[in-house]
Structures are given as structure tokens and as C-alpha cells.
Amino acid sequence: MKTSLQALALPLAFNLLSLVHAIPGGPWKAWKGCCVPHDDSPPATNTTEDATTIIPRQSSCLSTGTQSTINALFSSGGANTIVRLCPGVTIPITAPIVFTAPGQELSTQGYPTDSTRATILIQPGSTVTSAIRGNWQNNVKVLNIQVDGNRPNAGYLGGDALLEMGGGTEGQTVSHTVVKNTRSWSCVHFIGSGQENNPCRQATVMFNEVGPCGHEGTDPATGNGLWADGLSIECIDTTVTDNTITGATDGGIVIFGSPGSHILCNTIVSTSSSGLQFGGINMVDPTWGGNYTGVVVSSNTITGGPNSFINLGIGMGSQVWSNPHPETNFGQVTVINNVFTGNIGFSIVMNGWLGGLTVTGNSVSGVTTPSSSFASAAGCGAVQQASFAASEQLVYYPAGVTGSSGPNTIQSQFTALATNASNWLCLTNPPPLLPDTKSFLPNTLSVDASTSRVVSLRDFHVQVQGDGNVVGIDTTGASVTLIDWPSPRCCALCTGTSY
């Protein structure tokens, strides 16, 4: 300890520390109703005792400034510098905040967990997509702040994620932080390093509130997807626990390989603002050569909310996503005690995995049935359509889940597919419900030979036939009935006639 300010800060930091230490021994332990790993390594939220706090001494926290102010403090302070923002302040930024040395921390003074957490807010008119960059610095920490990409005002923009962490590093932490409204493809990204001997490793991502992230659909101008992930994790031996991800639109938590990582006790919910969310938790990408050895996905709750749905709760394997790839994903992986509720098209689908899966104790009893009440499989292949029509939630292709690295233990509720099927990311919103009746005010309905569909009702269409007759079509049975229509019958001669 070097300054009296730290005397103020340390007890709070130690609260955080003791919380982490409260995880008892053994490889698995119940903690707050969840199954958590025992971790022998030092807690990543370790607040270093020799930290230098470079903050105006009279106020003890930063009450005003921009990214330049914060970046100057980090640059001049060096390793272990803590920049404490004052509760309630908003820091407008037009360029990223960048960690420049190991052990640096950005936090709100007193580590609040409510709306008084300081906000980093991207300004409209800027071209920045990443508010904070912590790449390639060991043990840096983002704690108890709010990071707002401001997509509603600053707009969608392709680029790096709102929070960019990872690279060849160890021990980074993002906790108790709100991350929302990313302009780009993800709210939080831990990127890999591309170096086998120096991977991103031992990060901690816990107790964050993430989302909304992205929008449903594509940008009409460019065709780019507007959707975004909640957490995108390419970091081995990483702990992702107790996060709440609300309104992500691509994957809630996307695990990119990341051997040895534990994804536990997270809550993932789609919302009406997000609409269609593609995935809850993904293990579909070929990153890390498709190596998912030792990944544990346990005790997460995945919920498709009202007026929205999640296409795929947990996807596992190279054949499951919309971009099936020839390399088979592999590794002994444990997916247990996850709970699926609400509007979910398929809860778990497995195809394209090499060996050693333990998939047990997952609950789908709370999923809405029938699936057709919230989604449509019209764009899917025949196998997917059949599973969807039967509201099959737990599905795998046995020939596609095989291999040498260990036995499979798969709960008995799984439906074993007889036929190989790739791409389960094929559900769409159901077509809008058509009205039962439609009325026209006098002189507002004009029908001539160029009119095709006159009116579409539920189970019934009225349209002009090639021969000039106006017909009603029963769309349930496809029988065609000629309406008793007042003469003159519509024809080229009566163009412009109003009925």
C-alpha cells in the first residue's frame, strides 16, 4: 500500500476477494445453488496490494473526462494503475480506452453493483466500435462499470467488439459490469492469440449484465447481419459464471474452442426487442482446431422470452450451425443440469462431435409447445422439419457423435436421428397471422385486370384469375370456389370500375 486512498479502497476489494475464496475445495462444489469448479489458481479478481492509484487526491475518483483522460492516467501510471471513476459519472468517448500495462484496472469507486456504476458511452458521430481494449496485457480488470456502445444513437458499425480483451495473456477479469448496445458483432470478446505457447488463458468473466446486443435481420444497404453475440470467448481455462445475457441476437455465449473453460450458472434470455436470437450457448465453431477438451457447460438457464425465440439452446458440433464445416469438433465435454424454458426451437442439437460427451440432467420441461406457436420451420430441411413438428427438444445424430476420446453418456430423452442433417439454424419467425375479415369503405376497393390478390384472409384469399374471374380460394383445402360476384364481371373493359 502506498497511499491513504488505498486504505479506503482495499476493504472493498477484499470483499470481492473473499467472495471468490468462498468457493470451497474439490473439483465441483455447490455454491449459491450452482455447481461451480474449484480452482487452485489465485483468484483473478486479486486486487494487487502494491497498486498505484493515480487519481486526483482531493476527490479520490475521476469525476469528469474522456478516453484521453483515462488513457493518460494509464500511460503515466504504468503497471497496476487503478483508475477509479466516481459513481454516477458518464465518460463520453470517441476512441477506445486502452490498457497499457499489466494489472491495470478500470472500476467505479466503491465497486457498486447498481445504476450508480460509472458509464463509458460511445458518442454518436464517432467511428469507434470498441470502448475498451485490454488485449495483450496480463491481469487487467474491468470491474463494476457500465459500457454502452450506444447503437440506438451512434448506429450499427462493423468492427471490433465493444469490449475487446484477450490475446496472449493470463488472468484478465471482467466482472460486475454492464455491457450493452454494441455497434458491432459482439458485446464482449476475448480474442485468441494465434500462439500455441501463449494462448489467452485463465480469464474470469462473472456477474456481468450483458445486452441488448445487436438486432435481428440484416442491413438493407449492405446485407451485413445486424445481430451480435453477448459473450464471445476464445480463451482457455476460463471461468464464465453468473452472467445475465438479455437480448443477444446471435449467440448468447459463443465458446470458440477454449479447452478447459467452465461456463456455469449463466442466465440467457431472448427479448421482444431482440426478436429472433440464433443461439443460447454455442460449441459449433472450428476455432482451436475444434478442440473443446474439458469444457463444462453446467447449470445455465436459457429462456426464449415472449414475442421472441431462441432457435438453438445449446448447439454442439461441426454440423449444427448454418455454416457446417468438414473438421469435426472434439474433446471430452460435459453439458449438465442446464435448464431450458419458454420459446426455444431446439434445446440441444449434437452432430459433428468426436467422442466423450457427457450430456445429462438437462431440463426441457419448461419449453413452450408446440414450437409452431412461436417459430416456423418452413425454411428447414426435411429432418429438421420433422423434429420441429414433433417438438423434439433434445436431438442428436448418433453416427455424428462418435469417436475415440471417450464414451458418450447422453440422457435418455434425446431423440436419435436416423438421417444425417446439417444446419439446425433454420427457423424463422412465423408468418404474421392473417385477419378473419376485412371491410372496405364505399368506393375504396378498386379491382381491375391488373390486380392479382384482392384480399388475404386467414384460410381464404380473394384474387383475380387469368380469365378475369374473381375467385375465392380456400387456402386450407386449396379448393377453388367461384364467388357469386355482381355483374359486370371484372374484365379489361371495366378497368377503373369500383365495386
Q: Which residues bind ligand NAG (CB under 6 A)?
A: 42, 46, 48-49, 139, 171, 236, 259-260, 289, 291, 293, 319, 324, 326, 399-400, 420, 422
- Residue closer to ligand NAG by CB (options 111, 374) is 111
Q: Which is nearer to ligand NAG, 76 or 420 (CB)?
A: 420
| Comparison of 82 and 248: residue with beta carbon closer to ligand NAG | 82
For the bound state, the minimum distance from the C-beta of residue 117 to ligand NAG, rounded and expressed in Å, comes to 23
Nearer to ligand NAG, 131 or 426 (CB): 426
Name the residue with cell 451485413.
224
DSSP element (H, E) containing 296: strand 296-298
Is 19 strand, coil or helix? helix
Residue 42's DSSP bridge partners are: none
Q: Count the Cβ atoms, other than its own, within 10 Å of residue 431.
A: 8
For 217-237, letters b (16+ CB in 10 Å) and e give eeeeeeeebbbbbbbbbbbbb
Q: Which amino acid is at 144?
A: N
The amino acid occupying position 392 is: E
Place of cell 485463465: 202
Contact of 73 with 81, CB cutoff 8 Å: yes
Calpha distance 394→344 (Å, rounded):
11
| Nearest by Cα to 330 from 358, 295, 296, 292 | 292
Closest CB 289 distance from ligand NAG, rounded Å? 6
Q: Nearer to ligand NAG by C-beta: 148 or 170? A: 170
Nearer to ligand NAG, 65 or 78 (CB): 78
Q: How far is the CB of 112 from ligand NAG (least distance, A)?
A: 23
List the grid coordinates of 310: 431462441
Phi, psi of 126 (to 5 degrees): -90, 165
CB–CB of 232/166 below 8 Å?
A: no
What's the closest the beta carbon of residue 45 comes to ligand NAG, in angstroms? 9
Least distance from C-beta 403 to ligand NAG, angstroms? Answer: 11
Q: How far apart are CA 499 and CA 492, in angstroms?
A: 15
**Phi, psi for 195 (deg, rounded to 5):** -120, 115
- Contact call for residues 59 and 52 (beta carbons, < 8 A): no
Number of helices (H), then strands (E), in the chain: 4, 44
Q: Closest approach of Cβ 172 to ligand NAG, in Å?
A: 11
Give the residue with the Cβ less far from ligand NAG, 142 or 236: 236
Nearer to ligand NAG, 196 or 467 (CB): 196
Can you name the residues that pair with 248 across neighbouring β-strands?
A: 213
Cell of 234: 476464445
Output the smallest distance, CB 46 to ligand NAG, in A: 3
CB nearer to ligand NAG: give 128 or 200: 200
Nearer to ligand NAG, 146 or 258 (CB): 258
Closest approach of Cβ 75 to ligand NAG, in Å?
22
The CB-of-343 to ligand NAG minimum distance in angstroms stands at: 28
- For ligand NAG, which is the closer residue by CB, 260 or 315? 260
269: helix, coil or strand? Answer: strand
Residue 428 CB, nearest approach to ligand NAG (Å): 22
Query: What CA–CA distance (Å, rounded) separates 261 from 249?
Result: 23
**Burial of residue 377 (number of CB atoms within 10 Å: 0-12, 13-18, 19+):** buried
Q: Cβ 40 to ligand NAG, closest distance in Å?
A: 12
Nearer to ligand NAG, 74 or 292 (CB): 292
**Burial class (CB within 10 angstroms; exposed 0-12, middle 13-18, buried 19+) of 118:** buried
Q: How far is the CB of 373 from ligand NAG (least distance, A)?
A: 30
Measured CA to CA, the distance from residue 105 to residue 111 in angstroms comes to 12
